Amino acid sequence: MSYILNIETATKNCSVALAKEGKTILCKEIAEEGYSHAERLHVFIEEIIKEVGITFQDLIAIAVSQGPGSYTGLRIGVSAAKGFCFALDIPLIAVDTLQILASQATISSGLIIPMLDARRMEVYSAIFSSNLKKTRSVQAEIITENSFEELQETLYFVGDCAEKCKTVLTKENFIFLDEIKYPSAKEMSVISFEKYQKNETVDVAYFEPYYLKDFMITTSKK
């Protein structure tokens, strides 16, 4: 059987899902302010393997959320994924965190804009079509009242920074899907299985999470 373990730790949500042939069969996750990933991740993994009734040797690959996101969260997830891949001699699959987030939105037309909170009015964002094709690459940007004004389509925003972005993104074609806040490992199942079938894997030894550079905006002391 084609079992893939999916790990998502890029945000406050510590999420693990086991998928069979691209379908999630069990997911465990928790979103806490204190970032309990280090304590929760391996517990979730062991519980899932036990509850499904398989062994680690039944896994054909490990998939991990590659970022952008929390530096610490990404390091914990990637380190765990690499450890399992080395121990089990199976491939590592990297999945775009913003694609995972965008996958939770189901729309018939318009664009999906997943955004993850960086700090102040800064976000990590990308743009996806209604069929989840990326139309603009991942960027680190500062949100202003002029952001996305060139887009005439209906824009659906998802992510953990809706509260602060709503204060400036007020145009009529801007819709916030408040219920979609964090990326989840259960949304990785289809993506990771497709990547596995296409042999789109990464080098276990050299793979690093996708960190975007910190914003370097300063003000004069004068």
In tens, the pLDDT along 99-158 reads 999 999 999 999 999 999 988 899 999 999 999 999 999 999 999 999 999 999 999 999
CA–CA gap between residue 130 and residue 40 (Å, rounded): 34
Q: Is 141 helix (H, G, I), strand (E, B) or coil?
A: strand
What percent of the chain clears pLDDT 90, i.e. is strictly above it?
88
Q: Span 69-98, mean pLDDT?
A: 96
Q: At 13, list the tokens.
A: 């949500």
* Angle between helix 71-88 and helix 37-52 axes, rounded to 10 deg: 40
Q: Is the pLDDT of residue 216 over 50?
A: no
CA pair distance 94, 78, nearest whole angstrom: 9
Mean pLDDT calculated for residue range 208-220:
60
Instruction: Say how far apart CA 165 and CA 167 lie, in whole Å.
Output: 5
Question: What is the longest distance spanned by two Cα atoms in the chain?
Answer: 66
The first and second tokens of residue 129, run together, are 């079509």
Residue 213 has a pLDDT of 56
The CA–CA distances, whole Å, from 82 to 74, 85, 137, 206, 207 equal 12, 5, 26, 10, 9
Q: Which whole number is the average pLDDT over 12-39?
A: 92
As a whole number of angstroms, the distance between CA 207 and CA 193 comes to 19
What is the Cα–Cα distance from 132 to 96, expressed in whole angstroms?
12
